[in-house]
Amino acid sequence: MSSPSRRPDASPDPFAAGRRRRLRQVLWLLTGAFALVIGLNLADAAYATAGLEGAIIGLLLLALWLQRRHFHDAVTLTAASLLLGLGVLVAHNQGLYDEAVLAFPALLLFAGMFGSRRLLLGLIVAVLAALLVLFWLHQSGRLPSVPKVPMDWRRPFVIGLIMTVTGLFVWMVVRDLEAILRQLEEEKAALEQSHAQIEILAQRDSLTDLPNRALAKDRLTHLLTQARRNGRMVAVMFLDLDNFKTINDSLGHIAGDALLCQVADTLRSCVRESDTVARLSGDEFLILLGDLPDEDAIIAAVANLTHRLGQAFQVEGVDVLVTASLGIAVAPRDGSDTDTLLKHADMAMYRAKDAGRNTFRFFDPSMNANLVEELHLTAALRSALGSEQLMLHYQPQIELASGRIVGAEALLRWKHPEYGWISPARFIPIAERSGLIHELGAWVLRQACLDAQSWRERGLGELGVAVNVSAAQFRRESLEHDIARALAASGLPAQALELELTESLLMADARHLANVLQRLSASGVKIAIDDFGTGYSNLGYLRNFAVDRLKVDQSFVRQMTRDSHAQGLVRAIIEMGHCLGLQVVAEGVEDAQTLAGLVDAGCERGQGFHWSPALPPQDFIAFVQGHQARG
Ligand code: C2E
Ligand code: MG
Ligand code: MG
């Protein structure tokens, strides 16, 4: 048994109460044993011995009282009394022939149970010394060398009593050890359970119970090792829900969570036991398929996934349709380690998003090359900011009924000293992804307002200017300040500024956007929906937002003369715009025939190569002056 703790630290000894109880039991046991022996001695008229034993009982009772407050002192007192009492008793009677000698081991056992190591060692030394003294007493004749007392029943009785007390001590020690072991077992089990719990929390997504990124990476490592061994393929798929934010915003977070759980279940049911579906974040999932013989198997799995996801989910009694963009990287072709494969699948997923969502893309190495190019362009764009490389060109907008120029769309141009002209379709998305769009967008607003005000001051008439604004700009509070600053700095009336935003923006940030548009509209700024007809056509939003104009996408307008469907579509958009009280602008007007069709359909405004492409500021001024001069 461990030595008693005299540790100075504050943590309480968990076994203290049990040890105290044991000490009390031992003291009562010893008191009882001595009382019995006193009885025997009194019967033998050995009064001196009985008196000594009575004194020992007194000391034991004192220890019993002491243990409540001073446990260790009580132990020391007991040990010392027993040693002294036994020593004197033995010396007084028959020395080493006395049966009380047998009590010495019990005394050592007691010290081992309750005392410190120092006490035990001290007692061993004292017992050995007592034995030596007794031996010397025998040798010197002070004690008889042969026992004089005849053998009678008292001797085995006392020996039996000592043995019984010793046996009970041993029994107590064993019981205590067992209890401690049991307690340790229980603590170990509890510890293992909480370890398992922590592991679950660290490796699983709490909403869907799917593995999280850490566990998924582990599983992928395992699948890759297996695939290397048996020459099979592993597919790593990044899946991102396209319209989750809209659903979350319109139905609420609880419904959004319910939908994510259903999607998780569906995905899980589409794959085999040995495959993995993990949730990486929000609406982003990772699917790992191992042991694939060829690419056909992957395509079959993708077809199955998209088919199952394409079926309506029931959320709070509403049928919800989800679509997803999937990016797929295949090992060993697209990489042989987890990080590379995850990166490539992620890139492929963004390609699927760029391709209009609700589709999938396999990784191909050109994506990597594009990424490197994008990094170069981002750096180049950063240094182009505030330089001559960036400029605005203006494309005239014509009022179709009168043929007058009523304004212009500001289109950003970038002439890189090395790469030449770079299309905004190429660099605007890069500016959006890198965050440069905020600085760039603020500059465009300021410059467009300054130029438009200068046209007015030159007497070109009350021309308006339309500025394209990215979704990313709308997500920042700073947009409204940028607009206010641009108007204030230029002196342009708010009514002359029009913001062009895309349909997808309206879908993504519905609530926030409605408020921003309301405030802008109240300040007089006009709002146009650009590229109308190419986004998710939820027409309901047009009524909820403070919108003034629709710009029919040029892809329909340019087809009008060749394709009766396109013509029908443009007419329908114009009619619908009018029903909602909106003006309609047709972009991409390239010829007189298209213009005639638009006039016939009642379209208010047009812009396109039929009149002019976007022009540098000076050329635009000359164009307007020429146009006005022609009348
Ligand atoms: P958008 O706003 O739809 O601009 C119209 C695009 O159609 C312009 O391309 C314009 O040059 C082109 N276009 C105009 N008339 C015709 C025509 O008759 N036929 C044909 N085939 N094309 C015509 P651009 O300048 O290359 O701009 C592409 C897109 O880049 C713009 O589409 C707009 O979304 C974005 N963009 C341009 N400038 C900015 C800007 O300052 N900020 C932001 N956020 N986006 C911009
Ligand atoms: Mg535009
Ligand atoms: Mg457009």
Question: With contact defined as beta carbons under 8 Å apart, do 595 and 610 qualify?
Answer: yes
Question: With contact defined as beta carbons under 8 Å apart, do 335 and 322 qualify?
Answer: no
Phi, psi torsion values for 238, nearest 5 degrees: -95, 125
CB 411 less than 6 A from any atom of ligand 1: yes
Q: How far apart are CA 333 and CA 222, in angstroms?
A: 17
CB 396 less than 6 A from any atom of ligand 1: no
Q: Long-range CB contacts (< 8 A, 24+ apart) of 481-487? A: 482/441, 482/442, 482/445, 482/446, 483/445, 483/520, 483/525, 484/523, 485/442, 485/446, 486/442, 486/445, 486/446, 486/448, 486/449, 486/450, 487/449
Burial 237-258 (b: 16+ CB within 10 A, else e): bbbbbbbbbbbbbbbeeebbeb
Total count of residues recorded for the chain = 631
Q: At what angle do helices 510-523 and 244-251 cross, to 10 degrees?
A: 80
CB 447 less than 6 A from any atom of ligand 1: no
Which residue, 430, 393, 425, is CA-closest to 554?
A: 425
Q: What pLDDT sits at residue 171?
A: 86
Closest Cα to atom 4, ligand 1: which residue? 411
Handedness of CA 572, 573, 578, 579 (dihedral sign): positive
What is the 8-class DSSP label of residue 615? Answer: B
Integer-rounded Cα radius of gyration of the chain = 47
Question: With contact defined as beta carbons under 8 Å apart, do 411 and 424 qualify?
Answer: yes
CB 483 less than 6 A from any atom of ligand 1: no
- Centre of ligand 3 to C-alpha 619, Å, is 22
Closest Cα to atom 5, ligand 1: which residue? 587
Amino acid at 280: L
CB 553 less than 6 A from any atom of ligand 1: no
Give helix then strand counts, H and E, for the chain. 23, 16
State how beta strands 405-416 and 390-399 pair.
antiparallel
Closest Cα to atom 23, ligand 1: which residue? 588
Which residue, 623, 559, 540, 627, is CA-closest to 597?
A: 559
DSSP for 406-434, written as a single string: EEEEEEEEEEETTTEEE-HHHHHHHHHHH
- Centre of ligand 2 to C-alpha 466, Å, is 8
CB 429 less than 6 A from any atom of ligand 1: no
Q: How far apart are CA 288 and CA 272, in angstroms?
A: 10
Pocket test for ligand 1, best of 587, 593, 609 (most atoms within 8 A of CB): 587
CB 590 less than 6 A from any atom of ligand 1: yes
State how beta strands 324-331 and 360-362 pair.
parallel
- Centre of ligand 3 to C-alpha 530, Å, is 5
Q: What pLDDT sits at residue 537?
A: 53
For the chain, the first-to-last Cα distance in angstroms comes to 112
> CB-based contacts of 524: which residues, under 8 Å, 6+ apart?
493, 494, 495
CB 531 less than 6 A from any atom of ligand 1: yes
Which residue, 629, 526, 564, 510, is CA-closest to 249?
A: 510
Closest Cα to atom 29, ligand 1: which residue? 425
> CB-based contacts of 263: which residues, under 8 Å, 6+ apart?
241, 285, 309, 313, 322
Question: With contact defined as beta carbons under 8 Å apart, do 214 and 198 qualify?
Answer: no
pLDDT tens per residue across span 1-52: 344 444 444 455 667 888 899 899 999 999 999 999 999 899 988 898 899 9
- Centre of ligand 1 to C-alpha 586, Å, is 13
Q: Which two tokens stand for residue 416?
A: 């890189």
Minimum-distance ligand to the CA of 532?
Answer: 3
Q: Specify the ligand 1 atom closest to the Cα of 609.
A: 18
> CB-based contacts of 151: which residues, under 8 Å, 6+ apart?
none
Strand partners, 390: 414
Minimum-distance ligand to the CA of 411?
Answer: 1
- Centre of ligand 3 to C-alpha 240, Å, is 27
Residue in this structure with the two tokens 């046991």, named with its chain if needed: 29
Amino acid at 174: V
Phi, psi torsion values for 67, nearest 5 degrees: -65, -20
CB 470 less than 6 A from any atom of ligand 1: yes
CB 444 less than 6 A from any atom of ligand 1: yes
CB 594 less than 6 A from any atom of ligand 1: no
Q: How far is CA 593 from CA 202, 363, 559, 564, in A?
A: 66, 44, 11, 13
Q: What pLDDT sits at residue 12?
A: 58
Q: How far apart are CA 140 and CA 617, in angstroms?
A: 132
Question: With contact defined as beta carbons under 8 Å apart, do 526 and 548 qualify?
Answer: yes
CB 425 less than 6 A from any atom of ligand 1: yes
Amino acid at 25: Q
Q: Specify the ligand 1 atom closest to the Cα of 502.
A: 34
Residue ranges in the chain modelled with pLDDT below 50: 1-10
Closest Cα to atom 37, ligand 1: which residue? 411
Q: What domains, with CATH codes, occur in the chain?
A: 16-183 (no CATH), 213-363 (3.30.70.270), 375-630 (3.20.20.450)
Which residue, 286, 380, 292, is CA-closest to 331?
A: 292
Measured from the Cβ of residue 448, the count of other Cβ atoms closer than 10 Å reads 26
Q: How far is CA 462 from CA 138, 277, 298, 455, 513, in A?
A: 134, 59, 60, 8, 29
Q: What pLDDT sits at residue 538?
A: 56
> CB-based contacts of 534: which residues, under 8 Å, 6+ apart?
503, 553, 555
Q: Which two tokens stand for residue 610?
A: 């039929």
Question: With contact defined as beta carbons under 8 Å apart, do 31 and 55 qualify?
Answer: no
What is the 8-class DSSP label of residue 328? Answer: E
CB 588 less than 6 A from any atom of ligand 1: yes
Q: What pLDDT sits at residue 8?
A: 43
Does this model's pTM top 0.85? no
Q: Which two tokens stand for residue 56?
A: 């020992």
- Centre of ligand 3 to C-alpha 590, Å, is 14
CB 609 less than 6 A from any atom of ligand 1: yes
Q: What pLDDT sits at residue 272?
A: 93
- Centre of ligand 2 to C-alpha 141, Å, is 126
CB 473 less than 6 A from any atom of ligand 1: no
List strand residue ranges (DSSP E) for 226-342, in order.
233-241, 276-281, 284-292, 313-315, 318-320, 324-331
Closest Cα to atom 25, ligand 1: which residue? 411
Minimum-distance ligand to the CA of 614?
Answer: 1
> CB-based contacts of 43: which residues, under 8 Å, 6+ apart?
none
CB 554 less than 6 A from any atom of ligand 1: yes
CB 395 less than 6 A from any atom of ligand 1: yes
Pocket test for ligand 1, best of 390, 395, 468 (most atoms within 8 A of CB): 468
Pocket test for ligand 1, best of 497, 505, 554, 591 (most atoms within 8 A of CB): 554
- Centre of ligand 2 to C-alpha 321, Å, is 30
Q: Specify the ligand 1 atom closest to the Cα of 393.
A: 25
Amino acid at 50: A
What is the 8-class DSSP label of residue 100? Answer: G
CB 606 less than 6 A from any atom of ligand 1: no
- Centre of ligand 1 to C-alpha 411, Å, is 6
Q: Specify the ligand 1 atom closest to the Cα of 432.
A: 44
- Centre of ligand 3 to C-alpha 532, Å, is 8
Q: Specify the ligand 1 atom closest to the Cα of 607.
A: 15
Minimum-distance ligand to the CA of 533?
Answer: 3
